Structures are given as structure tokens and as C-alpha cells.
């Protein structure tokens, strides 16, 4: 078990470090949330000490804390509505580079930052590559005021929705935006783009963890214990 955990950590570090080494001096960088992006920030900290000048836009309170500890200056989308690059993780990546994200409940801000970026780097270990999206639940950020009618409409889409509960906290998870997260388990997701559109069309849904519209600017960095593979839209077979 320890060897598997060590192998997974090496894979995540390899992907995270590769992404950090693709950041160029002077860039505004979107900083995602999660364990693999943690290694990106770790490597960026080393590069900042060596003279790299960048500015980061964190997608969560946790990432902001980590970035400050790494001496990465921070900014906002207000100041930089178009940014150079964003780095983030994913829960699943399919062969067309469509994603499910949101295990860390930061997917709404992550999507905003990724959409503002000219290039989107997704750092994952090889276990996150899947033939079809849907093994992982699709997180949906929901306005608390509307959660009950939203749950009813989510069921009509064919999923089993569950309000995410806190750990070491009674009650639901509250996002950095003050909303609930509903995890939606589907039997299968045959048409991710249609599902993303349907989810976004429900009043009270603020955003889902399906990322289907950013494929053209997405590069997936896949780490393993021995090597790193880089996939882009040019590798997609229609």
C-alpha cells in the first residue's frame, strides 16, 4: 500500500513539476486547487527563488494560502480579465480532453479562471484517464436558496444527486462562494456537452464540474512514476 501511495505521489509531482516548468517569465498564471497543483506551486516556488517573475490568480482560499507561502504575488480577474495560462487538476479526462472536476469544491472559480486563460494546463496522474466520463460524480454548485427544486430537476436528468456533506463538520460543504455542492452520479455520460448545457440551464445551478468547452486550449500533462506524457487537442482522434 505504501509503495502505491509513493508511486502516486511521484506521478503527481512529475505532472505538477512539468507544468511549472512550462510557465514563462512575466506570465499571469491561474492556480488551481488540489493535490497535483500543490506540486506545481512547490516547483514554482523554487523557480521564483531563482528569479522567475510571475503573478498568480488562486482559485480557492487554500491555493491562495499556498501561493503566498511560496512567495508568488497574487492578483485577480478584475485586474487581469485575460490571463496567459491556467494550471489545474482533474478527476477524469476522456480521450477528447473533456473533464470532470470539482472534488475540491472549487470548480466554479476554476472554470472562470480557465475560461479567462489563453492556455489551460491540466495536470493528472494516469489513473485519471478514462474512456468515458461518468465514473466520478459531476459536482454542481448550487445556490442554497434553490437547492430543493434543483435536486428535483437534477433527478429528471437521470442522476442521483446528493448534497455533499462536510468532514469534521455537521451539514453541507460550503464553497468559497457561499454555496452548496451537489454531487450527481449518472449511469453514464454519453454526451458531456449536452449534459453540461442542461445543468447550466437549471435555475439555481451556478456551475458544474463538466469542462467541455475548453478543449481547443487544453493541454493534459499525465504523470506516472517513470515518465510524463503530454496530450493536446492535436492528439484527439475524431
- Give the count of alpha carbons within 13 A of 169, CB side only: 8
For helices 35-49 and 61-69, the axis angle rounded to 10 degrees is 30
Distance CA 116, CA 28 (A): 11
Which is it for strands 180-185 and 117-125: parallel, antiparallel or unpaired? unpaired
Q: Is 110 a catalytic residue?
A: yes
Grid cell for residue 100: 470532470
Q: How far apart are CA 62 and CA 37, in angstroms?
A: 11
- H/E element, 160: strand 160-163
Q: How many helices (H) and strands (E) does the chain have?
A: 6, 13
β-bridge partners, 112 = none
User: Among 110, 141, 160, 193, which one carries the catalytic annotation?
Assistant: 110
Active centre residues (catalytic): 110
Amino acid at each position: 500500500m505504501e509503495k502505491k501511495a509513493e508511486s502516486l505521489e511521484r506521478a503527481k509531482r512529475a505532472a505538477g513539476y512539468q507544468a511549472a516548468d512550462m510557465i514563462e517569465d512575466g506570465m499571469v498564471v491561474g492556480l488551481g486547487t488540489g493535490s497535483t497543483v500543490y506540486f506545481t506551486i512547490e516547483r514554482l516556488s523554487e523557480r521564483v527563488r531563482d528569479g522567475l517573475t510571475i503573478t498568480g490568480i488562486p482559485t480557492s482560499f487554500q491555493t491562495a494560502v499556498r501561493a503566498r507561502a511560496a512567495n508568488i504575488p497574487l492578483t485577480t480577474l478584475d485586474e487581469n480579465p485575460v490571463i496567459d495560462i491556467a494550471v489545474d487538476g482533474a478527476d477524469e479526462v476522456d480521450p477528447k480532453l473533456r473533464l470532470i472536476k470539482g472534488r475540491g469544491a472549487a470548480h466554479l472559480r476554476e472554470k472562470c479562471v480557465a475560461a479567462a486563460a489563453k492556455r489551460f494546463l491540466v495536470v493528472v496522474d494516469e489513473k485519471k484517464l478514462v474512456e468515458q466520463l461518468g465514473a466520478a460524480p459531476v459536482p454542481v454548485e448550487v445556490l442554497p436558496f434553490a437547492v430543493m427544486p434543483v435536486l428535483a430537476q437534477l433527478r429528471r436528468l437521470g442522476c442521483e444527486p446528493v448534497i455533499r456533506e462536510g468532514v469534521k463538520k455537521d451539514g453541507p460543504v460550503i464553497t468559497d462562494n457561499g454555496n452548496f455542492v451537489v454531487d450527481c452520479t449518472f449511469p453514464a455520460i454519453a454526451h458531456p456537452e449536452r449534459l453540461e448545457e442542461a445543468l447550466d440551464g437549471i435555475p439555481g445551478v451556478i456551475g458544474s464540474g463538466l469542462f467541455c468547452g475548453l478543449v481547443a486550449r487544453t493541454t493534459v500533462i499525465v504523470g506516472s512514476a517513470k515518465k510524463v506524457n503530454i496530450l493536446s487537442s492535436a492528439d484527439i482522434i475524431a
